[in-house]
Structure 1
Amino acid sequence: MKNFFTLFLTLFLITACTDDPDPEGILIRVENSSSVDFKDIRISSGSTPVEFGNISAGARSDFKEFESAYRYGFVSLLANGKELRIQPFDYVGETPLSKGYYTYKLDIDNSNPDNPTLQMELATED
């Protein structure tokens, strides 16, 4: 019984310390909400571009730190061998994100099969 309690306590402490509830910066991960794999994901949202690599359909990346960020940003990736982009014009009138955990949910709108478009949605993490 003592070994079980020690194991339980150890696992609890490890999992309780994985996400800092009060982060020191802006931490963003990418979720691939589409049904296709994304490759070579690169995001710039008010700061230096951040590389997220490849994310399978339905999967999420690890959190990465951004110097500054907004609710949207520049995104470049490959989906089914085709480059897709989101190219914002500017951030005029936008408020920078405060310190915290966020998820950029990326999906593909295939309403026009000849011209699929990339979509981005910001989700806050509690």
Structure 2
Amino acid sequence: MILILKDQMMGKVISAVLLIVLVCFGCTDRDDTVTMANIRVKNVSSINFDSVQVGAEDKIHENVTPNGFSDYLEYETAYSYDYIKITSGEEGVFILQPIDFVGETPLSPGFYTYELNVLETGEVQLNFVID
């Protein structure tokens, strides 16, 4: 009987050790393998964004509905604010044009959201969020 209890106890100890090892080493954070800035767009305006260009690269976030998000796109160089060109059907084209990036540090690899709003005046507002 003592041998049976020892075998059961040993099985529980081995199971617990395996569980701890799996939890510690089996999980990866989505940031662990990121090598570039990943930016998505959140539309906080009341109009549909047919397309949103961020920065000088030819990467386009498409069909971002009000209160909706685009997918993340990878950028080699990006900043906490950037050139933004929003195209919205009959509403027109809206542009946020930074003057320069002097003194700005490029974003490190990670996940970021540009919350974009188009005001009644046509001005584009950008709120930068670290995800």
Q: Unmatched 5+ residue regions in structure 2?
A: 1-26
Q: Say if 1:48 and 1:67, in contact at 8 Å, map to a contact too.
A: no
Q: Secondary structure at the match of 1:21?
A: helix
Q: CA deviation at 1:103?
A: 0.3
What TM-score comes out, normalization by structure 1 length?
Answer: 0.74
**Hey, which of these two has a bigger chunk of helix by percent?**
2
Equivalent position of 1:117 in the other structure = 123
Counting matched residue pairs gives 103
Matches within 5 A, 1:75-90: 75-79=84-88, 80-90=90-100
For residues 54 and 105 of structure 1, what CA distance do their matches in structure 2 show?
Answer: 15
| Structural RMSD (CA) | 1.8
TM-score, with structure 2 as normaliser: 0.71
Gaps of 5+ in 1: 1-15
The structure with the largest alpha-carbon Rg is 2
Q: Tell me how far apart the structure 2 counterparts of residues 124 and 86 of structure 1 sit (CA, whole Å).
A: 20
Q: Percent identity?
A: 32
Quote how far apart the aligned CAs of 1:20 are. 1.5
- Kindly report structure 1 stretches of 4+ aligned residues shifted beyond 4 Å: none
| Between structures 1 and 2, the one with greater strand share | 1
